[in-house]
């Protein structure tokens, strides 16, 4: 029945996209297997978290972009200059192997296979969750190294609230946000408008020309809008509906490189996505349906040639997700169907295709153990994936483990760019495992978590020069990754100290007969973040150090970019008995000259000032 429903919707080209619902309790509280309403709110997110290392980010007006949010926890971002694309990869995986899920729907660009975090607006999000490791059983293609969940949650009974934020800084930084929320017993509405502008007129030293220069052609501007509406039954938990929509428009001048006077080009992005979700509780379980659509339009002008020529691309993805939830005592079952139909159009190709997948997940919770078994079948590739996870509680300590398989199908660009169809390009297939332990000392208020992981990926897809002089996607033989992650937290009185550090090693074989493994490019050997926080009454001060280790830029395991550490100092002060908060801070405090990616100048020390208004701040 669900299959026929999906087929009829996709056949007529009707739009679809997805959303996650509101938790009735904070997500940091213990997960209750019998809380049916909350299971629905965090269905796939909670299933994917069990037994894995994860990072939770609370939304903050001080962080408006996905780049700033992830960097605050030591997550390495590949930044192609101050205005270029910014992508994330976890545990040695590249951006195409890290899936982004917006309110329940995978939203990586179907042509590129990745998400540009410059176009991820965090101001409208209520909760952001990074789950390490592959989650293809619940998310599908692309979740190999990790999954980032962006969730909006309705706040019924929340009353009315208005928030406004403005920030100004050096080199032409100018950001504003306005958000209004209304929550009653049965209705919730949230509207967010945002504007981000940065001229990036900073000075830098060019080691090729051996002279000081001023960055030009690097101005970026973004306008954003987000609307969230939700309704629920008079008795909470019987039924709930929600509608979410988001639009972003941006124009980026991509700056300059060392040794080059001309601009790297101009990129214009238009992103629009919406989702509609309905859930209904019955005596036989809970039924949930999500419909939605995401569209991406990109125009690019290459500034490195004398010809003025625009390259445009457009993609639209329709989603349908059907879920059934059942719980009894210590058991919980989730089963469903995912439908995806993609249209893509570029100067090189125009393609349209659809995918269908079925999945099932079972959780069992006892006094000391939580165990989860998950499986998924991708019908187009006839490719199954699985996951087996567990957590054991021993007093204040927790032991966790996970075994999983994952996959990534070739993107449209992999298959069709410059060359027509590449018929023998195979999907990537991965296998991974991790074990971790969480130790707490309650009297000293110390928490320490360590994770060891290993991952193997068959048929990794990379772009290499072909015989026709064009770059082309090709399958290599195999890649392997091993690493560790350490997270610690200590708090005493007004002071708090947090650390999050990652280390990864990778090996790539182009052919089975190859004796010496190559090195994965642009993956830091070490990276992480340490933060020291002081809070006293209305004052809060944070000093943060983000470290990025050496990254290989050639596969011979020799040439690499140097490591660097960026310091940031920030402070906030809430005016007494007022709804206003003032902020002052400095990024790149030690004024380090560094490269995130080769030849792309990055900003020096920057000072900024912010002001924030919240109508409920002083209540």
Q: Give the helix/strand (H/E) hosting 136.
A: helix 136-139
Looking at residue 137, its pLDDT comes to 93
pLDDT, average across residues 13-32:
30
The confidence score (pLDDT) of residue 348 equals 83
pLDDT tens digits, 338-369 = 999 999 998 888 999 999 999 999 999 998 89
CB neighbourhood size of 513 (10 A): 7
Model confidence at 58, in pLDDT bands (50, 70, 90)?
low
CB atoms within 10 A of CB 557: 12
In this predicted structure, the answer to whether residue 481 has a pLDDT above a threshold of 60 is yes
Q: What digits encode the pLDDT tens for the residues 275-296?
A: 999 999 888 999 999 999 999 9
Given a cut of 50, whether residue 32 has pLDDT beyond it is no
> For position 23, what pLDDT does the model report?
31
CA atoms in the 13 A half-sphere facing the CB of 553: 13
Alpha-carbon gap, residue 74 to 453, rounded angstroms: 18
Phi, psi (rounded to 5 degrees) for 48: -75, -25
Identify whether the C-beta of residue 274 lies closer than 8 Å to the C-beta of residue 292.
yes
The mean pLDDT of 33-53, rounded to a whole number, is 59
pLDDT tens digits for range 135-178: 899 999 999 988 989 888 888 888 899 999 999 999 999 999 99
| 3-state secondary structure (DSSP) of residue 31 | coil
In sequence order, what DSSP letters do the residues of 456-507 get, joined into one string?
EEES-EEEEE-TTSSEEEEE-SEEEEEEEEEEEEEEETTEEEEEEEEEEEEE
**CB neighbourhood size of 185 (10 A):** 10
Predicted pLDDT at 187:
94
**Does 476 or 37 have the greater pLDDT score?**
476
- The stretch 368-395 carries a mean pLDDT of 94
- Name the band, by pLDDT with cuts 50, 70 and 90, for residue 235: confident
What pLDDT score was predicted for residue 175? 94
| Phi/psi of residue 36, nearest 5 degrees | -65, -40
User: Quick one: pLDDT band at residue 66, thresholds 50, 70, 90?
Assistant: low
Cα dihedral 138→142→145→151 (10° resolution): -60
Handedness of CA 323, 328, 329, 331 (dihedral sign): negative
pLDDT in tens, 490-499: 999 999 999 9
Bigger pLDDT: 1 or 194?
Answer: 194
CB 434 within 8 A of CB 402: yes
CA distance 585 to 156: 35
Residue 8: partners with Cβ closer than 8 Å, 6 or more residues away: none
- Hey, what are 429's tokens? 């297939």
Q: Report pLDDT digits (tens) over 215-225.
A: 999 999 999 99
- pLDDT digit string (tens) for 201-215? 999 999 999 999 999
CB 154 within 8 A of CB 243: no
Distances in whole angstroms, Cα of residue 574 to Cα of each of 140, 291, 324, 496, 539: 44, 42, 46, 19, 7
Work out the average pLDDT over 429-456: 93
Q: What is the mean pLDDT of residues 466-480?
A: 82
The ranges assigned to domains in the chain are: 2-319+328-347+366-378+392-403+421-505+517-614
Residue 41 has a pLDDT of 37
Cα–Cα distance, 34 to 186 (Å, whole number): 23
pLDDT band at 534 (very low <50, low <70, confident <90, very high): very high
Is domain 2-319+328-347+366-378+392-403+421-505+517-614 annotated with CATH 3.60.40.10? no
pLDDT of 383 over the 90 cut = yes
pLDDT band at 303 (very low <50, low <70, confident <90, very high): low
Whole-number pLDDT of residue 117: 85
Contacts of 568 by beta carbon, 8 Å cutoff, 6+ apart: 542, 543, 544, 545, 546, 585, 586, 587, 588, 589
pLDDT of the residue at 29: 31
Alpha-carbon distances, residue 339 vs 293, 357, 380 (angstroms): 12, 7, 11
pLDDT band for position 560 (50/70/90)? Answer: confident
Q: What per-residue confidence (pLDDT) applies to 439?
A: 93
């Amino acid at each position: 029945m669900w299959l026929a429903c999906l087929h009829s919707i996709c056949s007529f080209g009707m739009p679809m996209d997805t959303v996650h619902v509101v938790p009735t309790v904070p997500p940091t509280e213990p997960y209750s297997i019998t809380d049916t309403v909350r299971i629905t709110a965090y269905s796939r997110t909670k299933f994917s978290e069990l037994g894995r290392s994860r990072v939770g980010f609370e939304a903050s007006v001080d962080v408006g972009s996905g780049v700033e949010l992830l960097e605050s926890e030591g997550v390495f971002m590949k930044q192609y200059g101050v205005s270029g694309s910014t992508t994330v990869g976890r545990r040695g995986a590249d951006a195409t192997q890290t899936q982004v899920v917006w309110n329940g729907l995978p939203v990586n660009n179907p042509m590129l296979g990745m998400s540009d975090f410059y176009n991820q607006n965090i101001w409208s999000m209520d909760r952001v969750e990074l789950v390490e490791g592959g989650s293809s059983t619940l998310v599908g293609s692309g979740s190999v190294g990790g999954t980032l969940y962006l969730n909006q949650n309705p706040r019924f009974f929340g009353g009315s609230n208005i928030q406004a934020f403005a920030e100004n800084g050096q080199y032409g930084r100018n950001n504003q946000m306005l958000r209004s929320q209304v929550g009653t017993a049965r209705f919730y509405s949230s509207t967010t408008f945002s504007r981000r502008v940065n001229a990036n007129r900073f000075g830098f030293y060019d080691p090729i020309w051996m002279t000081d220069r001023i960055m030009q052609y690097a101005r970026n501007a973004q306008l954003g809008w987000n609307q969230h509406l939700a309704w629920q039954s008079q008795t909470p938990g019987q039924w709930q509906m929600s509608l979410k929509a988001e639009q972003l428009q941006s124009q980026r001048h991509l700056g300059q490189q060392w040794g080059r006077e001309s601009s790297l080009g101009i990129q214009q992005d238009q992103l629009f996505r919406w989702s509609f979700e309905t859930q209904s509780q019955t005596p036989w379980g809970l039924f949930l349906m999500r419909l939605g659509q995401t569209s991406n339009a990109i125009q690019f002008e290459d500034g490195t040639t004398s010809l003025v020529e625009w390259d445009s691309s457009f993609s639209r993805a329709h989603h349908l997700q059907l879920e059934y939830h059942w719980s009894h005592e210590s058991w919980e079952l989730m089963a469903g169907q995912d439908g995806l139909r993609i249209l893509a159009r570029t100067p090189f190709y125009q393609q349209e295709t659809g995918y269908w997948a079925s999945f099932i997940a079972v959780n069992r919770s006892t006094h000391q153990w939580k165990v989860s078994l998950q499986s998924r079948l991708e019908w187009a590739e006839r490719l199954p994936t699985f996951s087996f996870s567990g957590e054991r509680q021993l007093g204040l300590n927790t032991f966790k483990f996970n075994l999983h398989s994952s996959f990534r199908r070739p993107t449209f660009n992999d298959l069709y760019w410059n060359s027509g169809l590449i018929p023998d390009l195979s999907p990537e297939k991965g296998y991974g495992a991790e074990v971790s332990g969480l130790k707490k000392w309650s009297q000293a208020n110390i928490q320490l978590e360590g994770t060891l992981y290993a991952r193997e990926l068959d048929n990794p897809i990379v772009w290499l020069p072909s015989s026709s002089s064009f770059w082309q996607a090709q399958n290599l033989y195999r890649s392997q990754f091993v690493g560790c992650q350490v997270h610690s937290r200590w708090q005493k009185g007004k002071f708090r100290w947090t650390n999050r550090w990652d280390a990864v090693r990778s090996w790539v074989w182009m052919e089975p007969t190859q004796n010496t493994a190559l090195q994965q490019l642009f993956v830091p050997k070490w990276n992480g973040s340490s933060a020291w926080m002081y809070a006293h009454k209305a004052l809060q001060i944070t000093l943060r150090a983000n470290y990025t280790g050496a990254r290989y830029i050639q596969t011979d395991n020799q040439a690499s970019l140097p490591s660097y550490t960026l310091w940031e100092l920030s402070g906030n002060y809430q005016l007494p008995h007022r709804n206003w908060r003032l902020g002052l801070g400095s990024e790149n405090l030690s004024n380090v000259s560094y490269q995130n990616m080769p030849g792309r100048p990055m900003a020096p020390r920057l000072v900024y000032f912010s002001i924030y208004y919240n109508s409920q701040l002083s209540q």
